[in-house]
Amino acid sequence: MSAVAAAVEYTVAGIRAGSAPILARLAATAARREQGRDYAFDDVRALAEQRITLTGIATADGGAGGAVRDVADLIIAIARADSNVAQALRGSFLTANQVATRADLPNRATTLRRLRNGDLFAGTGNERTGGASGSVHTTIRPDGDGHVINGEKYYSTGGLYASWFSGSAKDAEGKVYGFTVPVDRPGVQRLDDFDAVGQRLTASGTTRLVNVRVSADEVVLRDTTRLDNPWLGSFAQLYLAAIEAGIAAAALDDAVRFVRERARPIKHSTATNSSDDPYVRQTVGEIAARAQAARSVVLFAAEALDGLSAVRGPAARAAGAEVAVTVAQSGVVAIESALRAAELLFDVAGGSITGRQFGLDRHWRNARTVANHNPRQWKAAVSGAYHLVGEEPPTTGLF
């Protein structure tokens, strides 16, 4: 065991137990906080102090030793409590997954130390520059013994919660570099300007970089051409599917709660209590089935990702392509399950369930916003091409 692991020992069960009361608070306040644009800073910090991102990191590295399935299960639980928080933590979990799966990750020891400290990460390569999606216009130029970065990034998910911001920049020769800087570095400006219909409290707005100085060890040339498995985006896509599964589960929670505590049978119902109405029961049962389907496909895909860790060489490419398709298929099912569950929620009662004070429309809005990150039509089409003619999925990071 490495020296880093000897200080504090974490377990999957311990992290889940410590997180449970925090998630309960998040679930109880989610609707109210979204209506008031009230960020859950204290509870997110409390989750970080439970070292949630160490769930999938090996015990030899001071992590909890969990599998990808354990990580996915935790993400579903967080999203069930508050999908905004789950989304805001995506950058931190993606950083942890890179540490867990890549022994050759640049600056791995430094990143691992930050994760063990409970630091949170945000980052994006996205820009609103008018160019094609994925275009990098943020610049990096040499300056003394370091570099200077200028540019503007959007969808900086979790930016207001994070200690570190990662992004990409291009030099004068067109080479793309990755960088990671503390969010309080002079010139780093975080804006709370995300205005989507859903996921409003994910802190996914703009990050401006104005003459931000970076040292040589904070910059890495982006080069994935030598990787055995080029589908590095599979876990990131699984994460989005897990959020959808959590939203579907939250819709079930609210459906059950509303029927038990508030709903009244419609005039021509044969039941005296809504819980006894056969059509309400059918609706709740269908919501439950959708939530189960979403959860099942996510955990199935997580187990497929777990299987990649032992594959090396030429076999890793074939295995990576197959798992990327599996993850894409889970995304299709999870998205459609969450959207349907969130819609069916309104069928368990009458007009009263649409009251703004309940905020139940947030489930559909949140599911819809997460789904728009990467369209499910593309996921389904890529899956079809793979099964029909053996065509590999794109290596864009969206599969």
Sign of CA dihedral 34, 35, 38, 40: negative
Residue 122 sits at φ, ψ, to 5 deg, of: -130, 160
The pLDDT value recorded for residue 1 is 40
Please compute the mean of the pLDDT values over residues 270-293 and round it to a whole number: 92
Please compute the mean of the pLDDT values over residues 328-348 and round it to a whole number: 98
Sign of CA dihedral 334, 335, 338, 343: negative
The pLDDT value recorded for residue 265 is 79
- Which residues, 6 or more positions from 359, have their beta carbon under 8 angstroms from its beta carbon? 30, 31, 32, 34, 35
Sign of CA dihedral 40, 28, 366, 394: positive
C-alpha atoms less than 13 angstroms from C-alpha of 249 in its C-beta half-sphere: 23
Residue ranges of domains in the chain, CATH in brackets: 3-119 (1.10.540.10), 139-221 (2.40.110.10), 234-389 (1.20.140.10)
The pLDDT value recorded for residue 224 is 67
What digits encode the pLDDT tens for the residues 253-274?
Answer: 999 999 999 877 777 777 778 8
The pLDDT value recorded for residue 361 is 97
The pLDDT value recorded for residue 5 is 44
pLDDT of 129 > 80? The answer is no
| Single-letter code of the amino acid located at 296 | S
- Which residues, 6 or more positions from 21, have their beta carbon under 8 angstroms from its beta carbon? none
Mean pLDDT of the residues in the chain: 94
Tokens of 246: 């959590």
Task: Return the number of other C-beta atoms located less than 10 Å from residue 32's C-beta.
Answer: 11
DSSP character at residue 308: G
310 or 344: which leads in pLDDT = 344
What is the pairing mode between strands 164-170 and 121-123? parallel
DSSP character at residue 393: P
What is the pairing mode between strands 207-215 and 146-153? antiparallel
| Confidence label for 7 from pLDDT (cuts 50, 70 and 90) | low
| Confidence label for 2 from pLDDT (cuts 50, 70 and 90) | very low
> Which ranges constitute the DSSP H helices of the chain?
3-6, 12-35, 41-49, 68-81, 83-88, 90-101, 108-116, 234-261, 278-306, 314-344, 361-371, 376-389
The pLDDT value recorded for residue 130 is 60
How many angstroms separate the CA atoms of 5 and 54, rounded?
Answer: 11
Please compute the mean of the pLDDT values over residues 156-184 and round it to a whole number: 96
Please compute the mean of the pLDDT values over residues 143-148 and round it to a whole number: 95
The pLDDT value recorded for residue 264 is 79
What digits encode the pLDDT tens for the residues 189-245?
Answer: 999 999 999 999 999 999 999 999 999 999 999 876 778 899 989 999 999 999 999
Please compute the mean of the pLDDT values over residues 8-19 and round it to a whole number: 96
| Confidence label for 187 from pLDDT (cuts 50, 70 and 90) | very high
How many angstroms separate the CA atoms of 230 and 390, rounded?
Answer: 17
What is the pairing mode between strands 164-170 and 146-153? unpaired
How many angstroms separate the CA atoms of 309 and 101, rounded?
Answer: 7
The pLDDT value recorded for residue 181 is 97
Task: Return the number of other C-beta atoms located less than 10 Å from residue 136's C-beta.
Answer: 21
Burial class (CB in 10 A: 0-12, 13-18, 19+), 364: buried
How many angstroms separate the CA atoms of 169 and 143, rounded?
Answer: 15
pLDDT of 131 > 70? The answer is no
Please compute the mean of the pLDDT values over residues 67-95 and round it to a whole number: 98
| Single-letter code of the amino acid located at 49 | E
Please compute the mean of the pLDDT values over residues 161-170 and round it to a whole number: 97
How many angstroms separate the CA atoms of 189 and 166, rounded?
Answer: 13
